[in-house]
Structure 1
Amino acid sequence: MKIIVQMDPIEKLNLLGDSTFALLNEAQNRGYKVDFYTPDMLTLDNNILYADAYEILVSTDPDEIKKKSPAKRVKLEDYDILLMRQDPPFNMSYITATHLLETIQNKVLVINNPFYVRNCPEKIFVNKYSQFMPPTLITRNINEIKSFKDKYDKIVLKPLYGNGGADVFYSDKNDKNFQSIIEYFQNISDEQFIVQKFIPKVTLGDKRIIIINGKIAGAINRVPRYGEIRSNMHVGGQATVTEITEYEKKICTALSNDLINFGLFFVGIDIIDNLITEINVTSPTGIREIYNLSGNDVSVIFWNELETRLK
């Protein structure tokens, strides 16, 4: 099987906890040929999509991805599977890549479906399942935000297209910097931003559940550092072993049909105190932490499901 991966430059990856590394390592173990390219190397020529790509070799102990050969121009429709695995920001470059990948969808299995990656932004798509969410506002209207804060007092504000815990702020009735936070968000972008009721039990953890082909594949709990409300591992959150509750299974079941129908094969959902806050469809993480804590190898489940799908 021929695999090609669209991802960030190898030099920028933190391989110790990188889910893409785990997926590529398992692909190589199965004897697949694995190439990679970065999104800036895409070229649409006469409606044929090319990329300057490298064949890679994945090794462990230490974790390493090596380029086996110089870059060569390849036709993306010649591959069996294309994994779209670059991290956000979800900007115009990201959106352009999804449009380009749509041109090969009838010839190559693209994971995840680029149309729905583009049209299911992680903090907007989740609102389709608002019955499972904390009270949430998407706006940049200052009067709406003040009314929301008056109603719930303790709130969290975060950018609509942010990632990794960046620019997440807590505010309550005693916050003298509230107006400055609003001004900050209004100045950094023209988009609406997220205002959400604060969930106090975030201190006990933010659960990441991995869903593959509509089915639960594994989970970890990410516990914030003392004094923090952000549980993202990028900002010091600690991954711990967890169990998936019956109610959390109910949430996953409610999402399952849409994820399958939309071609969102590999997804990570975030749940705090039985409330879903995000549906990560761009480049979900957590595979290696799940394996290290429980021995559950999600990368094996990933490729088993894809092999079954291609039969």
Structure 2
Amino acid sequence: MKILFLMKPLAYVKPDKDTSLLLMQASQRLGHDIYFLPQGGASVTPDGLVFDGILIACTGNKEFPFDVRQRERLHENDVDVIFIRTDPPFDDAYLHDMWVLDRLSDRVRCINSPAGIRTVNEKLWLTQFKDLIPKTWVTTSRDMLEAVLSEQGQLILKPTNGFGGQSIFLLLQDDVNKHVILDTMFAKNTVYVVAQEVLADAAQGDKRILLCDGEPIGAVLRVHSVDDHRNNLDSGGQAFATEITGRDQDIIDVLKPQLLSLGLRFVGIDVIGDYLIEVNVTSPTCLQELNTLDGYAHEDELVSRFLT
């Protein structure tokens, strides 16, 4: 098989953390050809889609993890699977890639579905599940948010289009930096801001649960550093072993049919205490941490399932 990975530039891959690298290594171990596909690397032609990919091999060397071999222009008839692993923000370039990939024939499998990725904003989509989430406000109105802050006393603020803990603020009503933070979040009046109530259980960390075809693979507890409220590993958090609880499974059971109907086969959900916080469909991470904590190479089973 020829497998394409639409993802960030190879130079930005972190060998000790990157989930995409594990999926590439597993694909290579199974005897498949793997290609790096940059953003904008797909084209629509009268004869179907073509891809300007780069044939690569995983070396197992953390300093130089890839052997870059040759550029190839591939017709969609020669491609079997595309892993869409581009990190947010979901900007125009991301959106255009998804529109182009919509033109693919059904023969080519995408993990995840371009239409599903477009549908599920990782911060907003879950607001339909009111019984699963903390109190949440999504607005472009600074006045509304200030009124909510006055009522709640504290809020978690985040952009609708970030990742890795970027621009996430714990905002207190009496914070001397309150106006600066609000100025930053509402710098563009047409950009929505997400505000969530502060959960007491956040002090114990948040749980990343990885799902394959709507079923849990495993979970990682991410705990913030002593000088930061963000649990994201890219923001200094640490990973610990954890279990999937009955409440976690209840959340998964509600999400599963929706995710499957949208073609979202590899998903990461974030849970704090009893509440769903985010649903990650663009480039779910934490597979390396899960492997380390439970001593199992999950990527081999994952890739085998995706390819059959």
Common fold, TM-score beyond 0.5? yes
Partner of 1:107: 107
| Residue ranges of structure 2 left out of the alignment (5+ in a row) | none
Aligned residue-pair number:
308
Cα distance in 1 between the residues matched to 2:113 and 2:8? 18
Partner of 2:147: 147
Instruction: Please say if 1:256 is aligned against 2:256.
Output: yes
Percent identity over the alignment is: 28
- Contact 2:59/2:67, CA 8 A, preserved across alignment: no
Cα distance in 1 between the residues matched to 2:178 and 2:2? 52
| Residue ranges of structure 1 left out of the alignment (5+ in a row) | none
Cα distance in 2 between the residues matched to 1:53 and 1:178? 46
Cα distance in 1 between the residues matched to 2:183 and 2:236? 27
TM-aligned CA distance change 1:63 to 1:263, over 3 Å: farther
Range moving further from structure 2, 240-249 or 41-50 = 41-50
Please give the residue correspondences for 1:150-169 in structure 2 after superposition, counting only pairs within 5 Å.
150-169=150-169
TM-score by length of 2: 0.95
Cα distance in 1 between the residues matched to 2:298 and 2:125? 24
Partner of 1:25: 25
- Contact 2:16/2:62, CA 8 A, preserved across alignment: no
How far residue 68 of structure 1 moved from its aligned partner, in angstroms, is 4.3
Runs (4 or more) in structure 1 with deviation over 3 Å come to 61-65
Question: Residue type of the partner of 1:222?
Answer: R
Question: Residue type of the partner of 1:37?
Answer: L
Task: Tell me how large the CA RMSD over aligned residues is.
Answer: 1.6
Range moving further from structure 2, 281-290 or 100-109 = 100-109
How far residue 12 of structure 1 moved from its aligned partner, in angstroms, is 1.1
Q: How far does the alpha carbon of each residue in 1:66-116 deviate from its partner, in whole angstroms, 9 at most, with x for none?
A: 244221211134211111011111101001100011100423011100011
Please give the residue correspondences for 1:135-214 in structure 2 after superposition, counting only pairs within 5 Å.
135-188=135-188, 190-214=190-214
TM-aligned CA distance change 1:189 to 1:291, over 3 Å: farther
More helix by share: 1
How far residue 235 of structure 1 moved from its aligned partner, in angstroms, is 1.0
Cα distance in 2 between the residues matched to 1:25 and 1:189? 44
Cα distance in 1 between the residues matched to 2:203 and 2:76? 45
TM-aligned CA distance change 1:37 to 1:189, over 3 Å: farther
Q: What is the SS of the residue equivalent to 2:53?
A: strand
Please give the residue correspondences for 1:119-138 in structure 2 after superposition, counting only pairs within 5 Å.
119-138=119-138
TM-aligned CA distance change 1:214 to 1:67, over 3 Å: same
TM-aligned CA distance change 1:300 to 1:184, over 3 Å: same
Partner of 1:230: 230
How far residue 295 of structure 1 moved from its aligned partner, in angstroms, is 1.3
TM-aligned CA distance change 1:205 to 1:2, over 3 Å: same
Cα distance in 2 between the residues matched to 1:249 and 1:105? 35
How far residue 25 of structure 1 moved from its aligned partner, in angstroms, is 0.6
How far residue 296 of structure 1 moved from its aligned partner, in angstroms, is 3.0
Q: How far does the alpha carbon of each residue in 1:49-78 deviate from its partner, in whole angstroms, 9 at most, with x for none?
A: 222111111122436432442212111342
TM-aligned CA distance change 1:25 to 1:64, over 3 Å: farther
Cα distance in 2 between the residues matched to 1:64 and 1:212? 30
TM-score by length of 1: 0.94
